[in-house]
Amino acid sequence: MLKKLVGAALSLAMFCSIHVSSAFAETPLSAAVNDGLGAPYKWAGTSKQGFDCSGYTSWVFAKFGIELPHTSKGQAEKGTEVSKENLRAGDLVFFNTDGRGISHVGVYVGDGKFYHSATNQGVVITKLSEDYYAKRYVTARRILSDEQYQELMTDNQ
């Protein structure tokens, strides 16, 4: 239990360091990804009672009327490819975690971090530079148009 509480506190601290236009701003995108933070991992899960990785990303984007397939490989076929150097909040990042191609997905939130549902942790925030994910990074896709991005990154205040 203590391990989960410490993990949740660290995740919240990392989330608060995400670049937004003001120190206390909450955007629709940050509210959506943060809403699932701490939910447990559940294979084929699509709700806060439990998410798998693509279930979580589908759930986040559904909040904005954007339908995504419930597989990481299917999601990797949507949107447009974007280089790692040009990532922006809301882009999907993909990893090869099983040695057979794209098998994991998360939502990039800026500052080198992404939200995802990890098998042994549930929905957490992780740095792209973390050794495990850095070695397994495959590609990223931009799902949000520039107009959608501007809407979702506007302060809710």
> What are the tens digits of pLDDT across the range 46-64?
999 999 999 999 999 999 9
pTM as predicted:
0.84
Please check the confidence at residue 2 and state whether its pLDDT lies above 80. Answer: no
Query: DSSP code of 49?
Result: T
- Known catalytic residue: 104? yes
From the CB of residue 6, how many other CB atoms can be counted at a distance below 10 Å? 10
Q: In the annotation, is 19 catalytic?
A: no
**CA distances (Å), origin 83, targets 12, 43, 137:** 27, 29, 11
Tokens of 39: 């939910």
**pLDDT tens-digit readout, 116-147:** 999 999 999 999 999 999 999 999 999 999 99
* Identified catalytic residue from 16, 19, 53, 70: 53
Q: Answer yes or no: 70 catalytic.
A: no
Catalytic: which of 16, 19, 70, 116?
A: 116
From the candidates 16, 19, 70, 104, give the one annotated as an active-site residue. 104
